[in-house]
Amino acid sequence: MKTAVYPGSFDPVTFGHLDIIDRALKIFDHVIVAVARNSEKNSLFSVQERVELLSKILEDRPRAKVETFDGLLVDFVRKRGASVTIRGLRAVSDFEFEFQMAQMNRSITKEVETLFMMTSVPYSYLSSSVVKEVSSLNGPVDNLVPPLVKAALDAKFRGK
């Protein structure tokens, strides 16, 4: 049974993230969506809120499981019995950072591989940061995030 870990902040989860998860589920038996507990990032949603949103959105994908992690990603991956991390790439600008992280992880342990997945074309411009900015300015995000996330964004920015 092959398990992969898809780590990220998911603040908030977008259709781009879901596209990567769905495509990873075609390759792996199980995908652990690992929400990072990163206190250095100024997140809109708490870790618990992000886990709840992802869990509800992924409830029709039983082979996808949502967990949180802190510390070294490779330690988390090994503890979960996985051997692959999945990283989505939108553009060449993403590659340099992701390449450095993959090389660092590889230097820590040879047991964990990094699989880069190119984002699908409709999501090549999409990021959680863009979603938050557009939503904060009362712009349309219906085509960027699931309805549950849109409602959560509206509640954060407009108290709805």
Catalogue the active-site residues.
17, 41, 90, 128
The answer to whether residues 3 and 113 touch, using CB atoms and an 8 Å cutoff, is no
| DSSP codes joined into one string, 54-109 | HHHHTTT-TTEEEEEE-S-HHHHHHHTT--EEEEEE-SHHHHHHHHHHHHHHHHH-
Beta bridge partners of 88: 117
The answer to whether residues 6 and 24 touch, using CB atoms and an 8 Å cutoff, is yes
Beta bridge partners of 36: 69
The answer to whether residues 40 and 119 touch, using CB atoms and an 8 Å cutoff, is no
Residue 69 to residue 123: CA distance in whole angstroms: 26
